[in-house]
Structure 1
Amino acid sequence: MKLTLTPVDQNNWYAVTQLDTSKDQKSVFPVPAVYWLAESAYCGFTPLAMYAGDQLVGFAVHAIDPDDGICWIMAYMIDARFQGAGYGRTGMLALIAHLLELRLSDKLRLGHRPENERAARLYASLGFEEIDRQGHEVIRELLL
């Protein structure tokens, strides 16, 4: 399965806002996609739509921390309708490859809620090491 990452723009932004998690994931991914698009517009983040062929299946947001120059994956989500089909892993691999091409940083960080066990397993299996816990967030890092 191949996934394509595409910038969020005037042609797909509304479709991205319609992506959603399953009801049982609301506690581990409580912020809707529209929030990330708004924050991206005003905070210098880069939102990307994730497609399987012509089908929008998820999105990701990345940014460089201005304090230390490290690239962060601010948000990563596969729509509830497409979960369990391998898009999470495939999409994250595509995102990592994309960020490697951009050469933004030699490290990649992300955070997730401690109770988000699916995310924890996925990120650990891709080489993200837990480096910190801050309140309700586990911080993981992948050396590029």
Structure 2
Amino acid sequence: MNNIVLKRIDESNFIDCFNLKLAVGQEKYVSNPIRSLAQAYVYYSQCTPFGIYVEDKMVGYVMVIYDYDEEVYNIWHMMIDKEFQGNGYGKGALKEVLRYISSKPFGQSQTVFITCNPENTIAYGLYRQLGFMETGRSDDDELELGITL
């Protein structure tokens, strides 16, 4: 598999981010990157939005945010463009995100949360495969999963 690299979203690549597309039916599971980047602007002191790259091509998007109240990291809005799904890029990207979080860019927490609709079986299975476990908390139709680094 090709090397996955995370690159911070900035003025050089935000248009590529806006052009990412979900497969039909996935919009009920993931917000589009435009909404996510608006949130990143608001929470700029506690988050990092990333393009997920394979070679020089953006294949996806993910945002890492630190919750100072709970002192935990959260992974928000992770998505792989519909043209690049099924190639293992989500798994590689999630490993890179966890590596980034382990550097403690915002705080000393070792706890990472992600939410997922259990009907999104591919994403849910990926998170469980990498060690995320249900925390017992939920929000609307999404379950929270957590991992300790």
Name the TM tier (shorter chain). Answer: over 0.9
Q: Which runs of 5+ in 1 are unaligned?
A: none
Identical-pair percentage: 27
Picking from 129, 138, 141, the partner of 1:136 is: 141
Give TM-score, length-normalised by structure 2: 0.91
Give the match for residue 101 of structure 1.
103
Contact 1:20 1:33 in 2 (8 A): no
Q: How does 1:112-131 map to 2 (within 5 A)?
A: 112-131=116-135
Picking from 53, 68, 89, the partner of 1:51 is: 53
Segments of 4+ moved more than 4 angstroms: none
TM-superposed CA distance for 1:114, in Å, is 2.4
Q: The residue matched to 1:23 in structure 2 has which SS?
A: coil
2:12 and 2:67 mapped to 1: Cα distance?
28
1:106 and 1:85 mapped to 2: Cα distance?
29
Amino acid at match of 1:143: T
1:59 and 1:25 mapped to 2: Cα distance?
14
Q: Which runs of 5+ in 2 are unaligned?
A: none
TM-superposed CA distance for 1:66, in Å, is 2.1
Q: The residue matched to 1:85 in structure 2 has which SS?
A: coil
1:88 and 1:47 mapped to 2: Cα distance?
15
CA RMSD of aligned residues (A): 1.2
Post-superposition CA distance 1:22-73 (Å, at most 9, x none) = 01212222x2111001110012331011110101111110111121110000
Give the match for residue 69 of structure 2.
67
